[in-house]
Amino acid sequence: MLPRILCSSLLCSALVLASGCSKPESDGAAGEPAKPEVEATQPTANGADAAPAAEDQGSAQAPESGVDYHSFANTGDYRVRHLDLDLTVDFDRKVLEGEAVLDFKRLTQKNPPMVLDTRDIKVEAVRAGHGGELKPVEFSMGKTDPDLGTPLNIQLPKKATRVAIRYQTSPAASGVQWLEPQQTAGGEHPFLFTQAQAIHARSFVPLQDSPQVRITYNATIRTPEELLAVMSANNDPKTEKDGVYEFEMPQPIPSYLLALAVGDLEFKPMGERTGVYAEPELLDSAAAEFEDTESMLEATEEAYGPYRWDRYDLLILPPSFPFGGMENPRLSFITPTVIAGDKSLVALIAHELAHSWSGNLVTNASWRDLWLNEGFTTYLTNRIMQNIYGDQRYRMEMALGYDDLQADLEDLDSRDEIMAIDLRGRDPDKVFSNIPYEKGSLFLYELEQKIGREAFDQFLLEYFNNFAFESITTEDFIEYLQQTLLKQYPDKLDEARIREWIFEPGIPEGAPQPQSDAFSKIDPVRQQWLDGEIAAKDIDTGEWTYHQWKYFLDGMPEELSDEQLEELDSAFNLTESTNNEIAFSWLMIAVRNDYQPAFGRLESFLTEIGRNKFLRPLYRNLVESGKQEMAAEIFEEAKPGYHPLTVKVNSRIIYGDDAQ
């Protein structure tokens, strides 16, 4: 989720906004091999003991593998396998209203209450039973946890295998954003989109909101007739706008990949299996920017096995989307901030596509194991970029990613430098940093370097096939390594070294350090300018890529004089840069040095874009530079257009950890 685009050291220093090898039985659910069920350490059925406070979990005892500490659901008693949704989208009241029907498997001979995850959902009625015979049953809401929401406790009839919940969401649902027409590109119609990762699906569907639970789903979505609904399912590019849309997702997915968007959308194909949905005003530019998506898809298939999700389309969201992209299967949600006009930011598309193998196909069983999603995906992203855009682009992506990782290591607590992170008692959204992304990728890069690329590619191909449509833990991965690479290459790989990467903070000594020759010529030029040996206007930037511009700006010293800032801006028009990544780097410099001519752009940047990758470090920079009042003024102006997650994250930066 939070998906990551290539970023520089200053940029990603604040990047956040983010199971069993054995198969004892098979229940035949969409071909998904059964996995060991969670034992008594799972939250209790009534939800009362589901979320121990942080101070109760701070012992030296490590988190138990396979336990999801961020779900109330008693998945050891019941396991949901399929979801049927029938929802009406009410833009006037800003609610989703309808019914969710859950088909589940019973895993115990006893009949405890079923516990589901919810957050700010109004449950109106619950029915349960077997097949089509569903009758009203008793239900209750448990104690609300500020991070986890509220457990829904349902009294089930004996032998029941289906439960239907009539409900409506809250206008302030954490996983739903409702946009007014003026907040869209067209300005005439409202827009809705959801964001379920990490645990926000429970704010718009009552369910077992844990990545270890995989479900298939069908959905009927009812909207105003002039709007189009799309989902993380089988969208038909030829669908006519009629106000009622039917969807099917036949492959089992975790709940964080449930996704819905509704707006004035049109479709344009980019290849046989790829296309883009966007508002009409953005459609052509998006299709041109991302026209290499089909080639990326084919290159990834060739190396790592077939694409198993039928189509791969993109949805371009309004700029308030809080992330770069979200890897919702069949339909990645993408920020418009990566439409630069020169394909310089399409690493994000490669990243979201790569999730079709690492994350969507093979999924982390809990948010502790996020590196299994994001480390593999970041590694694959770099390989895709190499295949499509060449070795130099690959080396630059790798080198800047390494810089991003070093920047995070300077700022994070040691406990947060561990790939298999302990998140007990914490909001799982806090897992998103460069540790699961770049440290995870660097670890895989070291394995590649030690055994050779051809052998490592074969390992990845077999890994994805072995765990296809499963949710696995870090320990499952280690066990798989023991059975494969550690046996095959005992002279090249060491399990102790692997465990150091995964369970210890920092980077192991002797780890590879990706470098790029494309940056070697930037350092002396920057230094010559800083020393006054060359004027900014005389620097030959004609052949510079976006990556080199980022490297040039992010390598500047903390303090620059007014004269230096004016010279840079005059020579390169940085304040008005149309590349959002370059503009961001420049605005970070401007804030630190109180460069007033850039503050108008700063305000428009913060109010027009909702992407947390940009907002978090800029607001933090304002506060740390003594401009808290300015930050608060801009934030309050922009807040009505921000996503709920964006408001939560940046409120804490501006007003402190106690901000609501």
- SS3 state of residue 3: coil
Asked if 100 and 110 count as a contact pair (C-beta separation under 8 A), the reply is no
Residue type, 279: E
Q: Which residue in the list 69, 437, 463, 551 is annotated as catalytic? A: 437
Looking at CATH, the fold of the domain delimited by 517-655 is given as: 1.25.40
Q: What is the pLDDT of residues 330-388, one digit of tens each?
A: 999 999 999 999 999 999 999 999 999 999 999 999 999 999 999 999 999 999 999 99
> What number is the average pLDDT over the span 149-178?
97
pLDDT-derived band at 131 (thresholds 50, 70, 90) equals confident
Mean pLDDT of the chain: 91
Q: What is the pLDDT of residues 542-573, one digit of tens each?
A: 999 999 999 999 999 999 999 999 999 999 99
pLDDT higher than 90, residue 33 = no
Residue type, 266: E
Query: For domain 20-64+71-264, is the CATH number 3.10.450.50?
Result: no
Alpha-carbon distance of 365 to 404, in angstroms, equals 26
Distance of CA 654 to the CA centre of its chain: 24
b/e map 444-460, b = 16+ CB within 10 Å:
bbbbbebbeeeebeebb
Residue type, 40: A
b/e map 36-63, b = 16+ CB within 10 Å:
ebbeeebbbbbbeebbeeeeebeeeeeb
Q: What string of DSSP letters covers 109-167?
A: SS-PPEEEEESS-EEEEEEEEETTEEEE--EEE---BTTTBEEEEE-PPTT--EEEEEE
Q: Which residue has the tokens 């799309």?
A: 230
Q: What is the pLDDT of residues 301-341, one digit of tens each?
A: 999 999 999 999 999 999 888 889 999 999 999 999 999 99
Asked if 331 and 259 count as a contact pair (C-beta separation under 8 A), the reply is yes
Q: Which residue in the list 32, 289, 352, 448 is annotated as catalytic? A: 352
> What number is the average pLDDT over the span 23-49?
32
Residue-level pLDDT at 457: 98
Q: What is the pLDDT of residues 487-540, one digit of tens each?
A: 999 999 999 999 999 999 999 999 999 999 999 999 999 999 999 999 999 999
> What number is the average pLDDT over the span 432-448?
97
**What stretch(es) of the chain map to CATH 1.25.40.320?**
517-655
pLDDT-derived band at 42 (thresholds 50, 70, 90) equals very low
- SS3 state of residue 253: strand
Q: CA dist 129 to 51, 144, 159, 381, Å?
A: 29, 27, 8, 46
pLDDT higher than 60, residue 54 = no
pLDDT-derived band at 13 (thresholds 50, 70, 90) equals very low
Residue-level pLDDT at 46: 33
pLDDT-derived band at 647 (thresholds 50, 70, 90) equals very high
- Tell me the percentage of the chain whose pLDDT exceeds 70: 90
pTM of this prediction?
Answer: 0.88
pLDDT higher than 90, residue 4 = no
Bridge partners (DSSP) listed for residue 176: 194
- Residue 567 catalytic? no
**What stretch(es) of the chain map to CATH 1.10.390.10?**
364-373+387-503
* Strands in 74-121 per DSSP E: 78-90, 95-106, 114-118
**What stretch(es) of the chain map to CATH 2.60.40.1730?**
20-64+71-264
Top CATH class, 364-373+387-503: mainly alpha
pLDDT higher than 60, residue 57 = no
- Residue 256 catalytic? no
Q: Which of 102, 100, 109 is nearest to 79 (CA)?
A: 102
Backbone φ and ψ for 75, nearest 5 degrees, come out as: -70, -10
Q: Which residue has the tokens 């002797």?
A: 510
Alpha-carbon distance of 147 to 242, in angstroms, equals 38
Residue type, 386: Q
